[in-house]
Structures are given as structure tokens and as C-alpha cells.
């Protein structure tokens, strides 16, 4: 016992150290097994892909070779030196040689000898048969056939058995146990196996459809798939490679698949034996330590053995290093490289020998000495690891970024005995890191210059960070929010709304905005808060101070309200003015219409004409003022209707021809090619502009002068055209200083009380606005003493010739006097004004109608309720109940739905007419009521009443 090598305490210490070493080796072995398994899997997958590609390409080459050699028999047939015996013997031998050259590929060969057809076949027992065909030579070839035509009328049709040939051909290609081979041929999946008794593998339908989709596009592919074989399920990998055959437009594809366990089965057995050997070796080493400790030499030997083991493991990782663009190296305690992997030449561009020389003791290589310096620095600092990066220039001038990671090895005395490390090319990662740093710097610079307040929260709404530009006034309050949730610091009464916006931004992954009012020591501030996700764990908000914008918006709203109030006041004034003026005008012009129908002498007719013209002039002035007011307030609408431009222009000329005739002015009309041309536009406003311009031209042209009107149509595209007018006169002309103001409202060239020509100064202003509304422009050219030219164009559209409605025939006085007899109607007149009531009584008497009167809206409702009427003429403004209220109530009466209600009013605004029609009125007549217009409307609604009765 005295001679024991170790005592009990040393024994247990060594046992514990040995046990820990065994555990560490087992852990290291397990990690290396995973690495080797991954490498082996990739290698076997790559092998399967290459195997499939090689088989498919070889098969395709064989088919291509057959296609190239298929013309040999045709050349044999076309040989002029062959006789009939040669055809019988040598040609048969040549056909058989083709069958044997491509065993299993040919199903049959049919030869068209012009006068007969021969068929050659090879039976399963390799008997070669030649016979005459009893059927005609096929007219077309199938996908699995190849037709070769000769010059002498010879034809050879090869029928190929692609599946059989493929099955025979791929037997030479090895797959792992459990592997399967398939041929996708004419959309059918055909198993390629020598023994039919094997159970067929059934691929998952979704996996098979994905493979077929790639094959349809002519793409090779590699897939992880599932399949069934009998009652067992398999998971594996499938490689496919498409190829073409014969004259087919579609591709076939060769598919190899192997199960996952087939890829890894060899790894487990090999690695188990290796690992078992390592464990036994380690146990032996521990036992060796337990038996005797031979000192420092034995310790060095054990370290060298461990170093060799690690070196072997590193060699096994070289495949991984190739993917990492790295190399492994080992060095001794002097820093000289003892071993380096082959990848160093690919990474650094230097050979292994050059790398070894660079790390010699007497080498002056700068990069090598830099690595040595870092190693010495690590030793001085007591570190066992060296990690450094540096730029390196390869011999070809390419600059790369290299990372060196090294582990230093020490003996039992703590002296460095060597080291091992990995050098990798990290250029791509380095550049990406640099770009990321620059991007972060740009983002930080952007954030630091944003004037808005920024908060960053976690997904629960707790503040993680913030940024404020106004650090003097806002930093302290913003800093106090760190670690708090939104509910704790947002303004009271708005927390729930802000929380909802926060959650919506988080759930929808989009920007969500809310306006928040913040009460600060500086006063009430308005902020626009925008929430949006930064990533899966953080939300950002940007708060923009919009207090100034809110103040501006408030002022703008107040200004708009003031402007609307002023506009309403003006509109109300114009409406009231129009109503008050038109009410007496209604009696004046109505009586004139009735007076014209009586027997008058020549002087009386002149008096009536003067009164009528004066009334019409006053009505025209009122209409101009109201038109300009509507245009100015944007309440005028363009109402396009089909019209004949030539007929409309002639009508306007006809209206003004009397005025021109009085002054003996020559009125000329010119227009281009307008035969059977129908246009769509607002003819009423076009006529209004024409009447104004032509009327002005006549007014300002002296007697015996000349006024010319020209109309043209210029196309814009296939549908739209410019309808252009030009009105030229030989009048007094306009001075240049007046031209630019001529279209201003109420502008007069002569503004004195003694001016020669009368007018409101609104005509051209209205004309200019109307032309601009219709997409045109009014142009004026003038020279004092020579005359003026007014031009304008509007946009119109060509339509079908049948689109123009038929014009109603004008009523004569005879027709008007007989209307009551010809069109009997039961009429109720609702009117409170005595003057208008007298006028309407006279008009109805002139027309021959009988009627009843209601002097307010309530009375009108009662009369309609208790009596039957066909037409109700309803004044809009009446006491007790106005015309709109009375109309709405009548429309609710049972059985009174078809009563025709025609509104009468001096209000001429479009909105007034719309309100009347919306209340239930059928029509709307503006005062003054003209006799002919009233007669026309009564006739129209009489026909409507009769249609309903029939």
C-alpha cells in the first residue's frame, strides 16, 4: 500500500475530473453529430438532385440521339443502288439494328414503301417480326411517335414506348433504401420499378399538383413531400427534372424521391461507432490517469492527443466552412502556423504555402504581424480568446473584410502551447452592418430635427422613450411620462378615445390619427397625434402642434359664416326686390297681352307697343341683375339639350331683324358645313349670349351700317367640338383703355347723365361668365371709328339627328280664345293679391275657362278636399298657409294624388323652383304671367288629364 501511485483524495479528484471530461466529450460529440448530420443531409440532397438531373439529361440525350439517327433508315431507302433483295434483307437488318441500338424504346416501326406498308416489331422474347400492314399509313403522328419523311415518297413512323425505356434506363441509377422512381408522362404518374409486386407510393395530392405546376412551366425542382405506401406514411424529399421527347410540345419529367430516414441511416451507425470509440478512448485515458501520473511528458502527450482529436473534428467541418467563406488554422506557441485548411486560398487569394510563410518568426508580413500582436496583447491581458476584424486586399486587388476568431491553448503549468482559430470573409455582413449604422444615424438625425413630439410605447401603452424639440418647456413634462401608461398622463375625458386609436393602430398595423386638446401652463394647445407600429413590440406616436391651424380654421369658419350671411342677405334682398317688382309687372304685362287682343286703332297700337317695350326692358334689367347674382354665387347650372345650331341661330337673327330693319342695318349670317348636324349643349344660354352680342352690335352701329354673324364647328375629338361664333359690326368702336374693363359688372363706356346709349352694364359681364361656364372664352377686338368684333366658343357634343324634340306649334289668338271650349278643365286659382286676381280673371275670360278662387292656402286645401279639380294654380306667397305648405297637405289627401298643381310666383331663383317641385307641384310659372305661356301649359296638362282618364 506504501507503493501506491496516488492516495485516496487524488483518486476521487481525478475521478471527478475524468467524469466531467466524459460528460463534456459526450456534449461535444452530440453537437458535432448535429453539424455532421446537417452536412450529410445537404450532401445527400445535392446528390439526389444531381442524380435526377443526370438521369433526365442522359435520357433526353438518348432520345435526342435516337431522333438524330432516325433518319438513317430513310437514307437507306433512298439509296438508288439498292435492289429489291437489298430491301428485303439488308433493310430488315438495318431496322433490327435500330431496335437493338435502343432496347425497349421502340414499340414498332411502320414504313410507307409508297406501294405498300411494312410493320416491324420486337416481341418480349426478342423475336423480330416483319409483316405487311393491313391498315393504311396513319395520317398524323401522336405525341409518342416520330415521323420521318423522305424525298421519294417514303415515310417511316416510329412508335416509342417512353415509359418502358425509361424504366429500363434508370435501373443504373442508385437511390437510398426506400427510394422511388417515377415518370410523369402525359400528365400520368408512372412508377419505374422492376418488380410489379412492390406496393406503389401514393404522393400527397397538393404536393403532386405543385410539382406538376413547375413541370408545366418547364422548371426543374426540389421538394419536401409526403406519401403513403400501404399503411405506412413517409416524409422525404423529391427531385424532378423535365425533358422533351419525340415531337411532343409537352414535357415529361423524371422524379426521384427518398425518405428522410434513408438519408440519415448511415450517419447514426457510423457516428455511433466513432463516438463509442471516443468514449472508450476517453475512459482509457481517465483510467490511465488513475493508474499512474507519469509527469509532465505524459500530460503533454495527452494534450497532443486531444489536439489531434479536435483537429480531426475541424477537418470534418470544412464543408461548413466552405459555405461560410472561412478557413481553419493551427499554430504553435511561437505563433507559427502548423496547419491550415485548403479554403484559405479561396478566401484570401494566397496559397497555403504563402500563408505558412507569412506567419514565420522572421516574417515581416503586416497583416500576419497584426494578428500576432493581438495574440500577444490577449496573453498580456489574460484572455484565452482573440477576436479581431481588419481590411485585407487580395492579390487581384479585391478588398474584403476578414474576421479572425482564435482560441489559445495552455498546458498544466499555464503556459501557452498553441492555438487554433477560424478566419472568415465577412465582407457582405460588414457592408450590411455599415449600411444599418448609416441608416440608424440618418434616422437619429431625422428624429432630432423633427419639430414634433415623439413617444415610443410598448404594446401595453407604457412609455419607453421620448423626443421633444422644445426641451425648455416640454422636457420635464415629457420625462415624467417614462414608465407610465397612456391612461395616466393623457388629458382627462380623452383617454378612452386615445386608447381606442392606439389599439386600432396596433391591430391594423397602419397609421391612426386623433386630435387632442392639451391644457398646459402656456394655455390650451391642440395636437394631432399619429400612432403607428414600429415593430411587433413597439408603437410610436408623433404629436404635431396644430394650435395655429385650429385658430386659423376657426377664423376661416367665422369668415365663411359671415360671407354666407352676407350672401344670404343679398340673395334675400334680390329675391324680395324681384318679387316686389314682378308683382306689379305681372299686372302690367298681363293687361298689355289682353289689350293687344282687343280691336285697337293704329295710334292705340303704338301706345300699347311703347308700354309693352318699356315693360320688357324693365323685365330684362331685372333678369340681368338676377342672372349676374346667380352666376356670382355659383348657383347657375348648365343644362345641355339637343338642338339644331343653324335653326337656333336663324331664330335669334329673326328676333333681332326688326330692330336692325328700323335702323336700316344690313344683318348678314354666315355658317359653314352644318347640314343635318345636331349638337348637345345649353342652347338657352348660348342664345342668351348671342342675343346680347348681336343686340349690342345693332345698338352701337349707326344707320345704314353692317353687322355680320359667323358660326363655325371645330372638332376636339370624335365626340366633342368647339362651337364658335363671331359678331362683327361697323359701329363706333371702343377705345383701348375701355376694352379690359368692358366685361366688368355695371361698367359703362359713357357714364354721364347725357350718354347716348342706355343699359345696365351687365350684359357683357353675364355673357363672359356664361361662356366660361360652358368651357369657352369671350374675346373682344375693337378700333375706334371702325367697329368691333366679339368672338366666343363653347364646348358641345355631337348627337343623333333624332334627338331634337319636336317644337310645339305657336298658338294663335283664335286658338287662345277657343281653349276653354276645346280643352274644358276644372280650375282652382289660389291667389291673395287683388291686382293679380283681376288679371288672372281677365286672362281666364279671354281663354274661355271657368274657375273658382281661393284667397289663401288653407281655403285652397278645403276646396280641393271637398270638390273635384283638374288643375290648381297655386300662388306661393299667401297668408294663413303658403302655397308650398298647401301643396304638401293636398298631396296627402286620399284620392287627390293626380291633381295638377302649377306654382305661380315672382321668385325666379332656381332654388325657389326646386323647392316648389320638391313640395309636390307639377310645374312652376314665374311672374309676370304671359297669356300665351299660360295657354300652352293648360293645353299640355289637359292632354295629361285626358290620358289618365282614358
Q: What predicted TM-score, i.e. pTM, was given to this entire model?
A: 0.35
CATH number for position 865: 3.40.50.2300
Per-residue pLDDT at 168: 78
The whole-angstrom distance between residue 497's C-alpha and the CA centroid of its chain comes to: 32
Q: Is residue 309 in some structural domain?
A: no
Domain count, the chain: 6
Residue 266 sits in the same domain as residue 397: no
Q: Give SS3 for 78.
A: coil
Task: Determine whether 138 is exposed, middle or buried from the number of CB atoms within 10 Å of its CB (0-12, 13-18, 19+).
Answer: middle
What value does the mean pLDDT take over residues 647-665? Answer: 83
User: Sign of torsion, CA 364 369 370 371?
Assistant: positive
**Residue 754 — very low, low, confident or very high, per pLDDT cuts 50/70/90?**
very low
What value does the mean pLDDT take over residues 373-398? Answer: 85
pLDDT at 148 over 50: yes
Q: Domain boundary at 775, 803, 831, which?
A: 803
CB 659 within 8 A of CB 933: no
| CA atoms of 484 and 531, how far apart (whole Å) | 17
Residue 95 sits in the same domain as residue 185: yes
Q: Is residue 640 in some structural domain?
A: no
Q: Is residue 303 in some structural domain?
A: no
Strands (E) across 651-777 are located at 666-671, 679-681, 706-715, 720-729
The whole-angstrom distance between residue 846's C-alpha and the CA centroid of its chain comes to: 69
Residue 483 sits in the same domain as residue 560: no
pLDDT at 620 over 70: no
CB 792 within 8 A of CB 673: no
Residue 346 sits in the same domain as residue 492: no
Higher pLDDT, 616 or 25: 25
Interval 801-827: pLDDT, tens? 666 655 555 444 445 555 556 667 889
Residue 151 sits in the same domain as residue 270: yes
Partner residues linked to 268 by β-bridges = none
Residue 630: how many other CB atoms lie within 10 Å: 20
Residue 90 sits in the same domain as residue 225: yes
| CA atoms of 322 and 317, how far apart (whole Å) | 9
**Residue 874 — very low, low, confident or very high, per pLDDT cuts 50/70/90?**
very high
Q: Is residue 301 in some structural domain?
A: no
CATH number for position 753: 3.30.565.10
Residue 531 sits in the same domain as residue 574: no
Q: Domain boundary at 488, 520, 545, which?
A: 545
CATH number for position 618: 1.10.287.130
Quote the domain boundaries for residue 490: 450-545
**Residue 623 — very low, low, confident or very high, per pLDDT cuts 50/70/90?**
low
Interval 37-54: pLDDT, tens? 677 777 777 877 887 888
Per-residue pLDDT at 362: 82
Dihedral angle of Cα 156, 158, 159, 160, to the nearest 10 degrees: -170
Residue 750 sits in the same domain as residue 881: no
**Measured at the alpha carbon of residue 849, what is the angle toward residues 846 and 855, in degrees to the nearest 5?**
100
Interval 338-365: pLDDT, tens? 888 888 888 888 888 888 888 888 888 8
Residue 679 sits in the same domain as residue 824: no
Please provide residue 769's backbone torsions phi and psi, each rounded to the nearest 5 degrees. Answer: -65, -40
| CA atoms of 360 and 70, how far apart (whole Å) | 67
Interval 387-415: pLDDT, tens? 888 888 888 888 888 888 888 888 888 88
Partner residues linked to 667 by β-bridges = 707
Residues 6 or more apart in contact with residue 165 via CB below 8 angstroms = 62, 102, 103, 104, 105
Q: Is residue 795 in some structural domain?
A: yes
Residues 6 or more apart in contact with residue 151 via CB below 8 angstroms = 78
CATH number for position 485: 3.30.450.20
Q: Domain boundary at 632, 666, 683, which?
A: 632
Q: Is residue 439 in some structural domain?
A: no
Interval 668-716: pLDDT, tens? 888 877 777 888 888 878 888 888 888 888 888 888 889 999 998 888 8
Residue 281 sits in the same domain as residue 132: yes
Residue 263 sits in the same domain as residue 131: yes
Residues 6 or more apart in contact with residue 413 via CB below 8 angstroms = 296
| CA atoms of 720 and 178, how far apart (whole Å) | 76
Residue 605 sits in the same domain as residue 705: no
Amino acid at each position: 500500500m506504501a507503493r501506491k501511485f496516488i492516495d485516496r483524495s487524488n483518486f476521487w479528484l481525478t475521478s471527478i475530473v475524468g467524469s466531467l471530461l466524459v460528460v463534456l466529450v459526450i456534449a461535444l460529440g452530440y453537437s458535432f453529430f448535429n453539424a455532421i448530420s446537417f452536412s450529410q443531409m445537404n450532401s445527400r440532397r445535392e446528390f439526389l438532385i444531381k442524380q435526377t438531373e443526370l438521369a433526365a439529361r442522359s435520357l433526353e440525350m438518348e432520345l435526342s440521339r435516337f431522333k438524330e439517327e432516325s433518319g438513317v433508315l430513310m437514307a437507306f431507302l433512298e439509296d438508288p443502288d439498292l435492289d429489291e433483295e437489298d430491301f428485303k434483307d439488308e433493310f430488315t437488318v438495318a431496322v433490327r439494328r435500330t431496335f437493338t441500338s435502343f432496347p425497349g424504346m421502340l414499340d414498332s416501326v411502320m414504313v410507307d414503301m409508297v406501294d405498300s406498308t411494312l410493320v416491324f416489331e420486337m416481341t418480349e422474347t426478342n423475336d423480330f417480326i416483319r409483316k405487311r400492314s393491313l391498315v393504311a399509313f396513319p395520317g398524323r403522328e401522336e405525341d409518342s411517335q416520330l415521323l420521318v419523311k423522305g424525298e421519294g415518297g417514303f415515310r417511316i413512323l416510329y412508335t416509342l414506348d417512353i415509359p418502358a425505356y425509361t424504366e429500363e434506363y434508370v435501373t443504373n441509377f442508385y437511390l437510398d433504401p426506400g427510394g422511388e422512381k417515377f415518370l410523369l408522362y402525359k400528365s400520368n404518374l408512372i412508377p419505374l420499378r422492376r418488380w410489379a409486386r412492390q406496393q406503389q407510393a401514393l404522393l400527397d395530392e397538393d404536393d403532386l399538383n405543385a410539382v406538376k405546376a413547375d413541370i408545366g412551366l418547364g422548371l426543374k425542382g426540389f421538394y419536401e413531400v409526403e406519401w403513403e405506401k400501404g399503411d405506412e406514411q413517409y416524409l422525404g424529399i423529391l427531385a424532378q427534372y423535365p425533358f422533351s421527347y419525340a415531337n411532343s410540345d409537352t414535357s415529361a419529367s423524371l422524379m426521384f424521391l427518398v425518405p428522410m430516414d434513408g438519408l440519415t441511416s448511415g450517419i447514426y451507425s457510423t457516428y455511433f461507432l466513432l463516438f463509442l470509440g471516443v468514449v472508450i478512448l476517453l475512459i482509457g485515458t481517465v483510467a490511465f490517469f488513475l493508474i499512474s501520473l507519469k509527469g509532465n511528458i505524459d500530460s503533454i502527450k495527452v494534450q497532443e492527443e486531444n489536439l489531434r482529436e479536435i483537429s480531426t473534428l475541424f477537418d470534418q467541418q470544412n464543408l461548413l466552412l466552405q459555405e461560410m467563406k472561412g478557413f481553419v488554422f493551427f499554430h504553435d506557441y511561437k505563433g507559427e502556423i502548423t496547419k491550415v485548411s485548403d479554403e484559405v486560398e479561396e478566401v484570401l487569394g494566397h496559397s497555403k504555402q504563402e500563408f505558412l510563410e507569412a506567419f514565420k518568426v522572421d516574417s515581416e508580413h503586416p497583416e500576419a504581424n497584426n494578428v500576432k500582436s493581438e495574440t500577444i496583447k490577449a496573453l498580456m491581458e489574460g484572455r484565452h480568446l482573440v477576436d479581431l476584424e481588419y481590411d485585407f486586399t487580395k492579390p487581384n486587388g479585391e478588398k474584403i473584410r476578414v474576421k479572425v476568431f482564435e482560441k489559445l491553448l495552455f498546458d498544466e503549468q499555464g503556459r501557452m502551447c498553441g492555438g487554433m482559430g477560424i478566419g472568415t470573409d465577412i465582407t457582405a455582413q460588414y457592408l450590411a452592418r455599415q449600411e444599418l449604422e448609416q441608416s440608424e444615424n440618418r434616422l437619429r438625425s431625422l428624429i432630432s430635427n423633427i419639430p414634433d413630439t415623439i413617444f415610443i410605447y410598448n404594446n401595453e401603452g407604457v412609455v419607453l422613450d421620448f423626443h421633444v424639440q422644445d426641451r425648455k418647456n416640454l422636457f420635464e413634462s415629457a420625462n415624467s411620462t417614462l414608465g407610465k401608461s397612456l391612461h395616466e398622463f393623457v388629458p382627462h375625458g380623452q383617454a378612452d378615445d386615445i386608447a381606442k386609436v392606439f389599439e386600432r393602430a396596433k391591430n391594423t398595423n397602419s397609421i391612426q390619427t386623433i386630435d387632442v386638446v392639451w391644457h398646459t401652463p402656456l394655455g390650451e394647445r391642440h395636437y394631432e397625434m399619429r400612432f403607428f407600429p414600429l415593430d411587433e413590440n413597439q408603437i410610436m406616436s408623433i404629436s404635431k402642434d396644430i394650435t395655429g391651424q385650429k385658430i386659423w380654421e376657426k377664423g376661416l369658419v367665422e369668415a365663411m359664416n359671415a360671407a354666407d350671411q352676407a350672401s344670404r342677405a343679398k340673395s334675400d334682398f334680390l329675391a324680395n326686390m324681384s318679387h316686389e317688382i314682378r308683382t306689379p309687372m305681372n299686372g302690367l304685362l298681363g293687361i298689355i297681352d289682353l289689350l293687344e287682343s282687343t280691336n285697337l286703332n293704329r295710334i292705340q297700337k303704338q301706345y300699347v307697343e311703347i308700354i309693352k317695350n318699356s315693360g320688357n326692358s324693365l323685365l330684362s334689367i331685372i333678369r340681368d341683375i338676377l342672372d349676374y347674382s346667380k352666376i356670382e354665387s355659383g348657383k347657375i347650372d348648365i343644362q345641355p339639350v339637343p338642338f339644331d345650331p343653324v335653326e337656333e341661330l336663324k331664330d335669334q337673327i329673326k328676333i333681332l331683324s326688326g330692330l336692325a330693319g328700323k335702323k336700316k342695318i344690313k344683318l348678314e349670317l354666315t355658317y359653314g358645313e352644318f347640314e343635318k348636324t345636331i349638337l348637345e349643349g345649353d342652347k338657352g344660354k348660348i342664345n342668351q349670349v348671342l342675343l346680347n352680342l348681336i343686340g349690342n352690335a345693332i345698338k352701337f352701329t349707326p344707320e345704314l351700317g353692317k353687322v355680320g354673324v359667323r358660326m363655325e364647328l371645330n372638332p376636339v375629338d370624335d365626340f366633342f367640338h368647339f362651337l364658335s361664333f363671331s359678331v362683327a359690326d361697323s359701329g363706333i368702336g371702343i377705345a383701348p383703355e375701355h376694352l379690359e374693363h368692358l366685361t366688368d359688372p355695371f361698367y359703362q363706356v359713357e357714364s354721364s347723365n347725357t350718354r347716348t346709349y342706355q343699359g345696365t352694364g351687365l350684359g357683357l359681364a353675364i355673357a363672359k361668365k356664361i361662356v366660361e361656364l360652358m368651357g369657352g372664352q369671350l374675346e373682344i377686338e375693337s378700333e375706334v371709328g371702325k367697329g368691333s368684333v366679339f368672338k366666343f366658343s363653347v364646348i358641345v357634343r355631337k348627337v343623333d339627328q333624332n334627338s331634337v324634340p319636336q317644337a310645339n306649334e305657336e298658338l294663335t289668338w283664335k286658338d287662345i280664345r277657343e281653349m276653354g271650349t276645346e280643352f274644358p278643365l276644372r280650375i282652382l286659382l289660389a291667389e291673395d293679391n287683388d291686382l293679380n286676381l283681376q288679371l288672372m280673371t281677365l286672362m281666364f275670360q279671354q281663354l274661355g275657362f271657368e274657375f273658382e278662387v281661393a284667397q289663401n292656402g288653407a281655403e285652397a286645401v278645403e276646396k280641393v278636399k271637398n270638390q273635384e279639380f283638374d288643375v290648381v294654380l297655386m300662388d306661393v306667397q299667401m297668408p294663413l298657409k303658403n302655397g308650398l305648405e298647401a301643396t304638401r297637405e293636398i298631396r296627402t289627401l286620399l284620392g287627390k294624388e293626380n291633381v295638377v298643381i302649377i306654382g305661380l310666383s315672382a321668385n325666379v331663383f332656381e332654388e325657389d323652383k326646386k323647392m316648389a317641385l320638391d313640395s309636390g307641384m307639377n310645374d312652376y310659372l314665374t311672374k309676370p304671367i304671359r297669356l300665351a305661356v299660360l295657354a300652352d301649359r293648360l293645353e299640355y296638362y289637359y292632354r295629361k288629364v285626358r290620358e289618365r282618364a282614358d
